[in-house]
Structures are given as C-alpha cells and as structure tokens.
Amino acid sequence: MKKLSLIITSTLLVFSCNNKKETYYQAPNGKVFTAQEYQEAKLKMSERGEIKEVILSSIERNDSIIKLFNTTVKEENPYAEIDKFIGKKLPFESLIDLAGNKINLNSLNGKPTMVNLWFVNCKPCIEEIPELNRIKKNYGDRVNFLAVTFNSKEVVNKFLSKNQFDFNHIIDAQSEIDKLNNNSYPLNLYLDKDGIITSYESMINNDKKNGVNKELEKLL
C-alpha cells in the first residue's frame, strides 16, 4: 500500500512539473517577450528614468499565461539641479580666462550674459560650437559671452588652435562648476543685466536663423 502511495505521489509531482505554465509578456505593438526578456527590457528602461508598469490583461492558455502590458518611462531631467538656481546669481566667484584675467560676474557692464559650460572631449559640446559662434556674431558686444570649462589652459589652447570658438574662455573652473551640482554637458545659462540666472538650455540646435537666440532677445 505504501509503495502504491509513493508511486501515485511521484506521478502527481511529475504531472505538476510538466504542467507548469510559462508566462509571457505582450507589448501593445504585439511583440511578445519571455519573462526574462521582459525583466531585462525593464532594467534597460530604468536607466532612462522612473518606470510606470501597467498589466492591462492576462490570458491563460493550456501551457502558458500571456500578460498584455503597457510600460512607460518618466524621463529624468539631467539638468534638474539647475532649476534650483533660476532667479539666483550664478555662484561663480573665481574665474580666470585664457589671458590670465580675473572675470567678475558682478561687473557685467549692464549687459546680459550667456555662459556655455563645455569641455574638449564632449561631442555634443563641439557640435553646437558653430551655432554659438553665429549667436556671438549676431549680438556682438551687446552680450557677454563666456565659455567655462574644467580643462586646463594648455588643453583649451590646443583645441582652439584647430577649432574656432569665439567666446571668452574661462579655464580650470572645476571648483566653480561643482557648485551647480551638474554633470550634464553642454549647458547654456542665460543671465540678465544684474547677473541673475533667468533660464537655461542644454545643446542648442542649429535651427536658429542668423544667430537669433530667443532667450537673449528677452534680456536685451
């Protein structure tokens, strides 16, 4: 009797294992993921921001369960820390340009200022330089144009020997840049005539006409 009970139990265990249903996930576009593929996809999406996951329905079949899902990402703003500085003065105090001159942001000559944060190995920073040059050419002496980097004098001079960048260059400014708690580049800050940060942009697209910049237009 015990032997028969053992056989029945073993048979039930095997039957139970063989009838374990696989779970799949189907996206709104019809693409189906295995459970592992779905978890890997979510992990990759999480690198872009906070995930919002909704299981819309679940279909159970003989050998599988298919869950229809809609997963979206709430994109994080890489410049979120800069929002805290809007309406305040740019906290840069010790600025030195390529010529060794000290730059005082409290003495802006009654002109608005555009501050570009960049570095020589930043590809998007380099890509926007032609547009920055067009903006500089368009506004000329009506605006202060500063390019601020943590790179050294030697590194910046080497870059400028091969590339035209018409801003006044501030070098060795890592300690000042750190005050913004920003790690995303490029970053363009707009200061009014009193040195107050009014707005900012990331990379400037080259779709402006003749170097016209809407943020500077507001400040002139």
Residue 13 has pLDDT above 80, yes or no: no
Q: What is the fold, at CATH topology level, of the domain defined by 80-219? A: Glutaredoxin (3.40.30)
The domain locations on the chain are 16-75, 80-219
Number of other CB atoms surrounding residue 159 within 10 Å: 18
Quickly state the pLDDT bin for 9 (edges 50, 70, 90): very low
Residue 154 has pLDDT above 70, yes or no: yes
CA distance 201 to 10: 68
Residue 49 has pLDDT above 70, yes or no: no
Quickly state the pLDDT bin for 89 (edges 50, 70, 90): very high
Judge whether 176 and 148 are in contact, CB under 8 Å: yes
CA distance 69 to 63: 19
